[in-house]
């Protein structure tokens, strides 16, 4: 093993250690107002060495777009499985800082506590901005699945018999999504919010809007 490989291995181990430490700071109780007014979606797109963060704020009841912001920066962290948050935190926090509207909760395109080191992108972001967050991922990263219960449309995702998230069917006939606590929210409330925010796609509307914005800016950046 050469020096470059050694440094790379050390940095990955150091980052995993940081995730374990951060996971102990996650709040699994609701820190939300009694009535949610605004909900936000967060996503990041990549192209030509650039990271494009996008945040879309929607009215919680109508799910109409209230505000959207994007931010572009150089991609300084490589893609490493289980360490996605270190890559996505910079562009995400940059665009969130631009918001005039204050969301009550952020839906993040990624995992939260349902992560091998207990702190995926949704949890890392929540801790970084000090706001309630929840993770909504398209694929399973960690944990064992239970059978989906038809009567409530979800099943718990577990590791060593401990609940770390939920497998949620948001749209009939489609693959489920993987919901987990990010920060300052309970899993029960996270599931309710995800179901409420889902319309014609299995992905909740706030994340869809953020995804559209991030990719629109990415395409313009590539053309330029």
Q: For 176-196, what is each residue's pLDDT tens digit? A: 999 999 999 999 999 999 999
> Sorting pLDDT into bands at 50, 70 and 90, what band is 7?
very low
Please tell me the predicted confidence (pLDDT) of residue 3: 38
Q: Is-contact 91 190, C-beta < 8 A?
A: no
In order of their start, the domains of the chain are: 3-223 (3.30.2170.10)
What is the average per-residue pLDDT within 215-220? Answer: 91
Q: Is the pLDDT of residue 109 over 50?
A: yes
């Amino acid at each position: 093993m050469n020096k470059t490989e050694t440094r790379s291995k050390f940095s990955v181990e150091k980052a995993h250690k940081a995730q374990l430490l951060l996971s102990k700071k996650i709040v699994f109780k609701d820190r939300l107002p009694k009535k949610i007014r605004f909900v936000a979606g967060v996503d990041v797109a990549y192209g030509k060495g650039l990271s494009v963060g996008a945040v879309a704020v929607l009215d919680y009841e109508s799910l109409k777009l209230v505000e959207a912001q994007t931010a572009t920066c150089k991609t300084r962290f490589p893609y490493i499985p289980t360490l996605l948050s270190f890559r996505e935190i910079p562009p995400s926090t940059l665009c969130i800082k631009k918001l005039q509207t204050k969301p009550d909760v952020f839906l993040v395109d990624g995992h939260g506590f349902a992560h091998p080191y207990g702190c995926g992108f949704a949890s890392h972001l929540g801790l970084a901005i000090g706001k309630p967050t929840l993770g909504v991922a398209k694929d399973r990263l960690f944990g064992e699945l239970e059978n989906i219960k038809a009567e409530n449309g979800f099943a718990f995702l577990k590791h060593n018999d401990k609940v770390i998230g939920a497998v949620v069917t948001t749209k009939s006939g489609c693959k489920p999504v993987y919901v987990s606590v990010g920060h300052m929210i309970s899993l029960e409330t996270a599931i309710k919010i995800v179901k409420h925010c889902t319309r014609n796609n299995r992905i909740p509307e706030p994340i869809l809007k953020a995804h559209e914005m991030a990719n629109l800016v990415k395409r313009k950046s590539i053309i330029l």
